[in-house]
A = this chain, B = another copy of it.
Amino acid sequence: MIIGLIGFGNVSKNLVKLIKSDDITFITSMEDRSPKTIDAIEKSKIKVLDTFKDVAVACDILISANSPKSALEAAENYGKFTKGIYLDLNNISPDTTFKINQHVENLVDGAIIGKIDSPNPYLYISGEKAEELLFLNGFLQTKKISDNVGDVAILKLLRSSYTKTLSAILIESTELSREYDLEEEFFDILSLTEGDNFREKSISRINNTLNNSKRKSEEIEEIINYFNKNNLSMVRAALKKLNQ
């Protein structure tokens, strides 16, 4: 089996490491790639073809693991040339997934849950052809969630609707407890029910949100736009909180 890779960042690099089998050959191209990416490809020792079109034609599975911005373009340019499965692993909205679906034959949308460079990342996939990728379970934990392309992208938004709003609460409650000089005790008593690592985890969430508030706001806006027919009063309040 031949797996083609569009994009050679962290995700592709780690997939090559995780999916080691005599029956599987990875291929990619250096076409229009940066020196840094070319260097990473050379180090990985996988097979290199002249163009991404060649990669798309030759492979059984074409994996797109790019930047979110170039995900649609990659699908438009190369997706039509592959007869195999097109697995999109980019961090994109469901709307972009649906657009990509108009350009490629056998789309499966997927997401790595957890850190890709951890020893046991999860791969969530959806789409009618997702079944055919379940053999990946031998290399990394792979879960098909449905036959519907887009469900993995929706699931990621659902997850964000919880985690990003949670960060907004943590910011509010912690500010309040600091004002009453009870921050330490606040984390102490919550650790009793929320687990020993509650303080550490919460502070990391708060800092991560405050240090990237612009990007976090945009991600929350994406959630609100996609679920615009639903009542999202907590998520909307989180957006206000972040923009304060």
Residues of A within 8 A of B (CB): 113-114, 122, 124, 143, 145-146, 151, 154-155, 158-159, 161-163, 165-166, 168-170, 172-173, 175-177, 179-182, 185-186, 188-190, 192-193, 195, 227, 230-238, 240-241, 244
Contact of A155 among B179, B182, B240 (CB under 8 A): B182
Min distance, Cβ A210 to any Cβ of chain B, angstroms: 15
Enumerate 23 A-B pairs (CB-CB under 8 Å) in ascending A order.
A113-B189, A114-B192, A114-B193, A145-B185, A146-B181, A154-B182, A155-B177, A155-B182, A155-B185, A155-B189, A159-B186, A161-B172, A161-B176, A163-B190, A166-B169, A169-B234, A172-B231, A172-B233, A172-B235, A176-B232, A233-B241, A233-B244, A236-B237
Contact of A176 among B158, B182, B189 (CB under 8 A): B158
Which chain B residue shows the least CB distance to A113?
A: B189
Contact between B162 and A170, CB atoms less than 8 A apart: yes
Contact between B145 and A158, CB atoms less than 8 A apart: no
Given A122-B192, A155-B186, A158-B186, A165:B169 Cβ within 8 A: yes
Contact between A124 and B185, CB atoms less than 8 A apart: yes
* A235→B177 CA distance, assembly (Å): 14
Min distance, Cβ A153 to any Cβ of chain B, angstroms: 11
Which chain B residue shows the least CB distance to A154?
A: B180
Which residues of chain B are near A158, meaning CB under 8 Å? 173, 176-177, 180, 182, 186
Which residues of chain B are near A159, meaning CB under 8 Å? 186, 189-190
Q: Give the oligomeric copy count.
A: 2
Min distance, Cβ A77 to any Cβ of chain B, angstroms: 31
Min distance, Cβ A113 to any Cβ of chain B, angstroms: 5
* A124→B189 CA distance, assembly (Å): 9
The 8 closest A-B pairs by CB, nearest first: A237-B237, A162-B173, A172-B234, A158-B177, A165-B169, A169-B234, A145-B185, A161-B173
Contact of A182 among B151, B231, B235 (CB under 8 A): B151
Contact between B176 and A227, CB atoms less than 8 A apart: yes
Which residues of chain B are near A169, meaning CB under 8 Å? 162, 165-166, 169, 234
Which residues of chain B are near A161, meaning CB under 8 Å? 172-173, 176
* A176→B94 CA distance, assembly (Å): 15
